[in-house]
Structure 1
Amino acid sequence: MNPPAHCPSCRQPMVQKIFARQLYGEVELDFCFACQGIWFDDFESVQITPGGIIELFKLIHQHRDEPRLPLSEPLHCPRCNERLLHGLDVAKGGHFNYHRCLQKHGRFTTFAQFMIEKGFVRQLSAAEIDALSAKIGIVRCTGCGAPVDIRQEHACGHCRSPIAILDPAAVEQALARYQQAEVKRTTPDVEALGDAIVMREKERSRYQRERQADTLDTLDVGDLIASGAELVWNLIRH
Structure 2
Amino acid sequence: MNTPINCACCTTPMHTFRCQNKVDGEITLDLCFGCQSIWFDQFESLQMAPSGILELFRLIHEHNTTPRHVWGSTLKCPRCEDRLVQSFDLCKNGKFTYYRCTQQHGRFTAFSALMVEKGFVRQLTVQEIEALAKQVQVVRCSSCGAPVDIRTQSACGYCHAPITILDPNAVEKALGQLVEGAKPPKPLDPNIVADMLLDHARQKWGAQLTLAKTGQWSSLDDNPVDLVTSGLAAIRALLKR
Question: How does the TM-score come out when normalised to structure 1?
Answer: 0.72
Check whether the contact 1:9–1:72 (CA below 8 A) recurs between aligned residues. yes
Shift of 1:65: 2.1
- Say whether 1:170 aligns with 2:170: yes
Q: Which residue of 2 aligns with 1:110?
A: 110
User: Does structure 2 retain, via aligned residues, the 8 Å contact 1:84–1:100?
Assistant: yes
The letter of the residue matching 2:71 is L
Give the secondary structure class of the aligned counterpart of 2:153. coil
Match of 1:153 in 2: 153
What residue is the counterpart of 1:100 in the other structure?
A: 100
Deviations along 1:174-223, one digit per CA (max 9) or x if unpaired, are 3334447xxxxxxxxxxxxxxxxxxxxxxxxxxxxxxxxxxxxxxxxxxx
Q: Which residue does 1:235 correspond to in 2?
A: none
- TM-score (normalizing by structure 2): 0.71
Q: Distance in 2 between matches of 1:66 and 1:170?
A: 25
Aligned length: 180
Structure 1 stretch displaced more, 35-44 or 161-170: 161-170
The residue aligned with 2:59 is 59
Runs of 4+ off more than 6 Å: none
The residue type paired with residue 150 of structure 2 is I
Contact 1:92 1:118 (C-alpha < 8 Å) held by counterparts = no
Letter of the structure 2 residue corresponding to residue 120 of structure 1: F
Letter in 2 for 1:174: A
| Residues 1-238 of structure 1 mapped to structure 2, 5 A cutoff | 3-179=3-179
CA contact (8 A) 1:50 1:179 kept: no
What one-letter code is carried by the residue in structure 2 that aligns with 1:77? C
- What is the CA distance between 1:92 and its match in structure 2? 2.8
140-149 vs 83-92, which moves further:
83-92
Structure with greater contact order relative to length (CA < 8 Å, sep ≥ 6): 2
CA offsets, 1:55-89, max 9 Å, x none?
11111121122211111111000000000010111
Aligned counterparts of 2:47 and 2:74: Cα–Cα separation in 1: 27
- The superposition leaves residues 114-160 of structure 1 with CA deviations (integer Å, 9 ceiling, x where unpaired) of 11111111210111111111222111001101011111110000001
**What letter is aligned with 1:144?**
C
CA pair 14-64 structure 1, distance change in 2 beyond 3 A: same
CA RMSD of aligned residues (A): 1.5
Structure 1 unmatched runs, 5+: 181-238
Which has the higher mean CA deviation after the structures are superposed, 36-45 or 57-66? 57-66
The percentage of counterpart residues that share the same residue type is 53
